[in-house]
């Protein structure tokens, strides 16, 4: 990584260019995808900031003063990302949590050698109550031979990701990404509209302080999961208790644990035998980021990034965060059935 002094202002553009120079073989296509994502993030951030005014200015699905129908924020985020990335000639296909099928590159635009998978607005049920939401993204290389992207290009294990990251629309907007050379965070300076390097080479604390889990599902968890959660809480005296923090926006919970140390868990339960979170749009990209920061991510049986996806909207149990806590999850769950047999 290029070293910067404390006083140098490093925009995301400059950082991406400097990272690219470390790879003489790079064509700049991946950098282009990251710029486009940063642009989409700024547009979404702008919209999220005024979301609370929807009731005053006209709520979703009502006509606004210009006679346009206002879109729901997750639909807006989805379309913003597609429009920011479909024409650059760098992608051959996309997939979004909000779309049932592969999103093709429109006829007439050039196709490139990468594929983008994304969750346009994570935690969208929190919008109405002014709680942080996010965007999550993952980039893999095209593996099929034809000009256009196919399902096979989308269904690749997370270890093949070439870039991944997330944006958190919180008290400030931050973008955190990795291309496999550490995880780096940028904070949006709204006065100049630039993402500035604020958290170079993030390292997650080895031991966690926080436990993020929705324990209203406790009755539906398998016994080993119940046992694991009790041990995180310090019951039995084996370990120091973690403090419980659960926002209900994965990005927000993940981000807090990444910076402060902790583990986010969304186990399988009797009603959702594979948990809730999506392997391709949520688990894989955050797993790449956390591993680059020195942490771990597992479904309880194997590394998240080693899971071979079989369908686009596949769900997975997720235990992600500080090394010591995720190792405890693997130790407790590895030999047990993945789905919640209660």
Nearest residue (CB) to ligand AHG, 90 versus 276: 276
3-state secondary structure of 315: strand
Q: Draw the binding track, 72-111, toward ligand AHG (x: CB under 6 A; -: no contact).
A: -------------------------x--------------
- Give whole-number Cα distances, 275 to 84, 135, 237, 325, 338, in Å: 31, 20, 28, 19, 10
Picked from ligand AHG, Mn ion, none, the partner binding residue 52 (CB below 5 to 8 A depending on kind) is none
Least distance from C-beta 207 to ligand AHG, angstroms?
22
Query: How many residues line the site for Mn ion (CB under 5 A)?
Result: 3
- Rounded to a whole number of angstroms, the minimum distance from the CB of residue 124 to ligand AHG is 4
CB of 309 to Mn ion, least distance (A): 16
Using the rule CB under 5 A, is 122 a contact of Mn ion?
A: yes
Contact between 218 and ligand AHG per CB under 6 A? no
Looking at residues 261 to 300 of the shown chain, list those that interact with ligand AHG (rule: CB under 6 A). Answer: 276
Sheet containing strand 262-266, strands side by side: 243-244, 210-212, 262-266, 318-321, 296-298
CA dist 48 and 171 (Å) reads: 11
Selection from ligand AHG, Mn ion, none that 272 binds (CB < 5 to 8 A by kind) is none
Nearer of residues 42 and 315 to ligand AHG, judged by Cβ: 315
Residues 77-106, interacting with Mn ion (CB under 5 A): 97
Cα 29–195–162 angle (5° rounding)? 35
Interface region with ligand AHG, contact rule CB under 6 A, candidates 33-41, 84-92, 191-199, 248-256: 248-256
CB within 8 Å of 73: residues ≥ 6 apart: 47, 48, 51, 60, 121, 124, 127, 133
Q: Contacting ligand AHG (CB under 6 A), which of 71, 198, 214, 314?
A: 214
Instruction: Return the HEC string of 28-91.
Output: CHHHHHHHHHHHHHHHHHHHHHCHHHHHHHCCCCCECCCCCECCCHHHHHHHHHHHHHCCCCCE
Closer residue to ligand AHG (CB): 142 or 276: 276
Which residue in 52, 146, 180, 248 binds ligand AHG (CB under 6 A)?
Answer: 248
Closest CB 191 distance from Mn ion, rounded Å: 29
CB of 121 to ligand AHG, least distance (A): 6
Total binding residues toward ligand AHG, as defined by CB under 6 A: 11
Q: Which is nearer to ligand AHG, 112 or 165 (CB)?
A: 165
Nearest to 258 by CA among 218, 295, 303: 295
Candidate residues 36, 86, 119, 194; the one interacting with Mn ion per rule CB under 5 A? 119
Q: Which of 284, 292, 37, 49 is nearest to 167 (CA)?
A: 37
Write down the least CB distance from residue 245 to Mn ion, Å: 18
- At its nearest, how many Å lie between Mn ion and the CB of residue 249? 8
> What is the spatial distance between Cα 212 and Cα 267, in angstroms, rounded to a whole number?
11
Rounded to whole angstroms, the Cα distance separating 74 from 37 reads 16
CA dihedral 21, 202, 173, 98 (to 10 degrees): 80
**170 near ligand AHG (CB under 6 A):** no
Element (H, E) at 140: strand 133-141
Q: What's the distance, CA 101 to chain centroid? A: 20
Residues at the contact surface with ligand AHG, assessed by CB under 6 A: 97, 119, 122-125, 214, 248-250, 276
Residues at the contact surface with Mn ion, assessed by CB under 5 A: 97, 119, 122
């Amino acid at each position: 990584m290029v070293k910067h002094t404390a006083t140098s202002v490093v925009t995301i553009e400059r950082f991406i260019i400097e990272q690219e120079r470390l790879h003489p073989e790079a064509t700049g296509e991946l950098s282009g995808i990251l710029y486009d994502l940063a642009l989409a993030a700024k547009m979404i951030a702008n919209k999220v900031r005024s979301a609370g005014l929807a009731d005053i200015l006209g709520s979703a699905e009502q006509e606004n003063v210009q006679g346009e129908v206002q879109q729901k924020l997750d639909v807006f985020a989805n379309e913003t990302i597609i429009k920011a990335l479909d024409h650059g000639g760098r992608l051959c296909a996309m997939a979004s949590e909000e779309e049932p099928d592969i999103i093709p590159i429109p006829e007439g635009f050039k196709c490139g050698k990468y594929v983008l998978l994304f969750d346009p607005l994570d935690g969208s049920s929190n919008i109405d109550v002014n709680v942080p939401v996010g965007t999550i993204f993952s980039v893999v290389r095209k593996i099929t031979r034809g000009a256009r992207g196919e399902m096979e290009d989308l269904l690749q294990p997370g270890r093949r990701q070439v870039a991944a990251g997330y944006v958190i629309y919180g008290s400030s907007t931050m973008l955190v990404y990795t291309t496999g050379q550490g995880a780096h965070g940028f904070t949006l300076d709204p006065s100049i509209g630039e993402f500035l390097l604020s958290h170079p080479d993030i390292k997650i604390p080895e031991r966690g302080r926080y436990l993020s889990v929705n324990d209203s599902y406790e009755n539906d968890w398998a016994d080993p999961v119940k046992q694991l959660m009790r041990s995180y809480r310090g019951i039995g005296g084996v370990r120091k208790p973690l403090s419980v923090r659960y926002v209900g926006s994965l990005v927000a919970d993940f981000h807090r644990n990444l910076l402060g140390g902790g583990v986010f868990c969304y186990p399988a339960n009797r009603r959702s035998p594979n948990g809730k979170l999506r392997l391709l749009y949520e688990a894989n990209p955050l797993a790449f980021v956390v591993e680059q920061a020195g942490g771990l991510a597992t479904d309880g049986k194997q590394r998240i990034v080693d899971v071979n996806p079989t369908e686009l909207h596949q769900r997975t149990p997720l235990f992600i965060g500080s090394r010591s806590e995720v190792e405890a999850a693997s130790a407790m769950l590895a030999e047990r059935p993945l789905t919640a047999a209660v």
